[in-house]
Amino acid sequence: MEPTLIFGQDLLFWIAILLTMVFFIDLATCWWYNALNWGPFRKFRDKLVKYHKYTRISLILLMVIHIVFHVLFQVYGITF
């Protein structure tokens, strides 16, 4: 029998991928603002910073969704 992922675990994997991507975008729009003040990044700095509010909200929402799915799948054993 081939090992397969249930849909829920696969969903958790893709949510984790999205969390990682949004986290690094959030870093680029917040903590690395001064680090982007050199070379070719200077012209993109202000464009990135204006999205910081949205990346922070989406990061929090993705964290909540990820934790809820962990509880549903691992504690209650709910599968799709």
Residue type, 36: L
Residue 56 lies in a domain: yes
Close Cβ partners of 14 (under 8 Å, ≥ 6 residues apart): none
Residue 1 lies in a domain: no
Residue 26 lies in a domain: yes
The Cα diameter of the chain in Å comes to 55
Task: Give start and end residues of each alpha helix (H) in the chain.
Answer: 7-29, 42-49, 52-70
Q: HSE of 3 in the Cβ direction (CA atoms, 13 Å)?
A: 2
What's residue 1's pLDDT?
47
Q: Domain total for the chain?
A: 1
Interval 62-74: pLDDT, tens: 888 888 888 877 7
CA 16 vs. chain centroid, Å, equals 6
Verdict on whether the full-model pTM lies above 0.85: no
Residue 80 lies in a domain: no
Residue 16 domain boundaries: 7-74
Spans of the chain, pLDDT less than 50: 1
